[in-house]
Amino acid sequence: MTLHQLSLDTPIGPLRLHATDDALVAVYLPGQEPPAPAPERPGHALLEQARAQLAEYFAGERRHFDLPLEPRGTPFQREVWSALRGIPFGATRSYAEMAAALGRPSASRAVGGANGRNPLSIVVPCHRVIGANGALTGYAGGIARKEWLLRHERASAAA
C-alpha cells in the first residue's frame, strides 16, 4: 500500500497528512515522526480535500470532518477512535466518561492509551479528552497545542 504525504502550515505549526489512494491514515503534529517516510504528493485529490477541510477548521468554519479514514490500530483502539468522533465540537469528555460510553467503565487507562496512539490528530479529536478533574492531560502535540485547539473550538462554537 503506497502512502502519500502533504504538508500543511497551520496556526499550531506544520501538519503532515498521510493518505493511501482511498483514505486518510494519519495527521502528524509538529514533533511527531511518522513510522515510514512518504513522498510529498501535491495534487493528490484526497490530501487536497483534507487540506481544505483542515483550513476550514482552523478558520472556524468547519466542525466535522467528512473524509474517508483508515486509522491503523487494534480493534479496541479503533473502537476508542470511533467514539472520539462522537464528542461534540467544543466539548470535552474525561477518560472515565469515554470508558463508560464504551461499556468498559474500568478501562480509563486503556482508553487513555488508545487515545494517545490516535494517528489522526484533530480529525479524530483526541484533544477533547481531559482528566476527570478537568485538567488537560497528555497530548502528542503538547499541552499548549491541546489548549489552543480547545480554546479555538469553544470560540468557534460560541460564534
At 109-133, the pLDDT tens digits run 999 999 999 999 999 999 999 988 8
Strands of the chain, DSSP E: 4-8, 15-19, 24-28, 93-94, 129-130
Q: How confident is the model at residue 95 (pLDDT cuts 50, 70, 90)?
A: very high
Burial readout 49-86 (b: 16 or more C-beta within 10 A, e: otherwise): bbbebbeebbeeebeebebebebeeeeebeebbebbee
User: Do 134 and 88 belong together in one domain?
Assistant: yes
Q: What is the residue-averaged pLDDT of the chain? A: 92
How far are the Cα atoms of 22, 26, 56 from residue 16, in angstroms, in the given order? 17, 8, 17
At 141-158, the pLDDT tens digits run 889 999 999 999 999 988
Q: Is pLDDT at 159 greater than 80 in this prediction?
A: no
Q: Is pLDDT at 38 greater than 80 in this prediction?
A: no
Q: What is the domain extent for residue 50? A: 4-58
Between residues 31 and 13, the one the model is more confident about: 13
126 a catalytic residue:
yes
| Residue 25 belongs to some domain of the structure | yes
50, 107, 120, 126: the catalytic one is 126
**Structurally, how many domains does the chain consist of?**
2
User: Do 51 and 87 belong together in one domain?
Assistant: no
Say what percent of the chain tops pLDDT 90. Answer: 79
User: Do 33 and 90 belong together in one domain?
Assistant: no
pTM of the model: 0.92
| Residue 32 belongs to some domain of the structure | yes
Q: Which three cell numbers stand for residue 69?
A: 479514514
User: Do 80 and 29 belong together in one domain?
Assistant: no
| Residue 67 belongs to some domain of the structure | no
